Chain A
């Protein structure tokens, strides 16, 4: 209940002092503070400002994620090759399509099938409905833009149907607390129980993998060295295969520290691409406006999502002076009591007014694709160590010309759609963005077509150590403009299937 938080969910000065990075945006709050890594214990070097939001507990960011789940299409997989940007993806949509379906069924993705090439449909549970204002706006926008711009249901990893050992979303809007119903996909709700059911799971919390152990004669990893975060004891674990899924920057951090006797730049560095091409989604631009004519309408239940507007820039015949594009996440809702803070008035009538719902307001925020750029890097900073004595990472990343051009469209395009929807008092908002704020770190150990241009092959194997798989965001060759987690999940399932078969046939 809100009243059980001493500061009603807010942040204290002491919390801000303790979390100098986390405080830069919304994640710092008293509701789930313990689920964020300590900025003080785990420092890093910002060559340029980079906001790094981390969860170092069992389940990691699967507990705190935004749950928006979209497929990349061939528009995305082909873009690097067609435009001569970065390196070509070694796979196309047809190869990952069945694995998207596999993880969508497993995770429980609620969404609608909309038949758009730039946002391929999947194996969805029934969508979480749009409210009446959103439905009306969707129709007006579709008509106004001849179907080129669409307001769709969010595709979200909140289940609307029962899944094994899980219950559907209860519309509490409390996902960040960890759902006692398993209403959204998280490690704790979904994959950990499944792993435990095999009776072959051993889970090692408080474990920091310090390096992948490498046999240079066999050119294979032999296991991992693990530092116990509590006891500081080091243990070597032997393994036939190693999956690295520590989240983008941490996975690359581990590779940078591994096999340095063979390659000074770390395991996977022979291509010259390890630690390069760091990406995020750039955002914090959008628009909102007031919608009239629905004051006799309301909704019940706290929806954990809203609407999604798929990319329409540089799609079909649309051509802009930048590459790629952006999508919008947004929603319509009635103003609550907080609107009264800025209004003139005190007393009984004021209080009764504040108690009632206010105007309907609708808004959307753009999430833009960031191009892979060799100059955006993660390297080891050997001048600084963390609480456990490990050299920290230095992050040097910025958005550049293409993103800055794209940002010029991201506000006005939303304003245009709101205008089409009949909104009044439309305002474009444009906050500051620093790389990392999207919490969609990608790249730094990219997949590719050759050991010369990439760290990983088409099955996410490190070219230089084929029994090492990297399947989190580090593997991404491009970012697309959609939320990336579903793609990591599909690539992970695909790589795991490949690894199992390779072990069985002794080809690994």
Chain B
């Protein structure tokens, strides 16, 4: 039985913030070293988990791979949808450069329950139909301007839909007296917290929570007399384009491409994602237009 613990050798360097930029792999390996000989639980499997993490790479045109139930063509279309939501600008590359389409397909495959996956996949077809209707071409054949016009209209539709859903959920929460949820509440399908704090608390909170109610989705909300909600069921699934927008933003802003883009803080150049800031400066000047520093995942 070992009775000595190796200190992480590289920690000495870490005491100097300037030298403290560790890669995540290195950091994890040091945790492993710290646990080495004592407990390989956590340390080794966490490292393994990171090894599994695939670095997203931009996909060369025509080289898309199928993901789950998404064909290579679906994945390619998702990449274009994401790139229409988040196109290249003078300030930064677009979603395609960050391989956002393959990421979206992976997220839908791995994190959405079947009914929500269906809504999402149907959404791709609806986008194609809308493009044919508006421009007589498929979405993939459409020009960037045509795609932007089609998705802008769909975006307005999703916004109206999601606003109505939010009202229906608030009304339902009030009716069920969620504010005084007491002892003995059922463990499954718990209702979600409302408000901006909830939105901030979990990027996918709304999607996940709505997902839990999908078993009897789209029930008519008859008899509630809730005009404001447009008679929408409070447990209806999110709009497919909200899902796409959410996943596109998540994939893009947590990508390596964006994390390594330059920005400035208090006049000093840095990257948008800094692994080891090394210090906390509570109050610095901010110049409008400067990209934000990014949080840990």
Contacts and interface: CB of A to CB of B under 8 A. Distances in A.
Interface string B35-54: 10011011101100110111
Contact of B286 (A7, A35, A172, A297): A297
B39 A57 contact: yes
Given A300-B280, A301-B279, A338 B200 contact: yes
A409 to B, nearest CB: 13
Interface in A455-492: none
B41 A180 contact: no
Interface string B84-111: 1111110110100000000000110011
B196 interface: yes
B215 to A, nearest CB: 14
Given A30-B49, A337-B249, A24 B190 contact: yes
Contacts of A350: 85-86
A128 B279 CA distance: 10
Contact of A431 (B46, B198, B242): B198
Contacts of A31: 297
Contacts, number: 348
B11 A429 contact: no
A14 interface: yes
A299 B92 contact: no
A138 interface: no
A301 B197 contact: no
Interface residues of A, number: 118
A3 B255 contact: yes
6 contacts: A135-B282, A180-B28, A203-B1, A299-B284, A302-B295, A341-B203
Contacts of A404: 180, 182
B184 interface: yes
A59 B187 CA distance: 28
A49 B278 CA distance: 42
The 6 closest A-B pairs by CB, nearest first: A398-B183, A58-B39, A2-B297, A180-B30, A301-B280, A9-B297
Interface string A425-439: 101111111110000
Contacts of A172: 275-277, 296
A340 interface: yes
Contacts of B186: 49
A361 B196 contact: yes
Contacts of A345: 155
Given A298-B284, A345-B155, A429-B193, 10 more contacts: A1-B23, A8-B297, A11-B208, A178-B46, A295-B286, A296-B287, A342-B162, A352-B91, A428-B195, A432-B178
B251 interface: yes
B132 interface: no
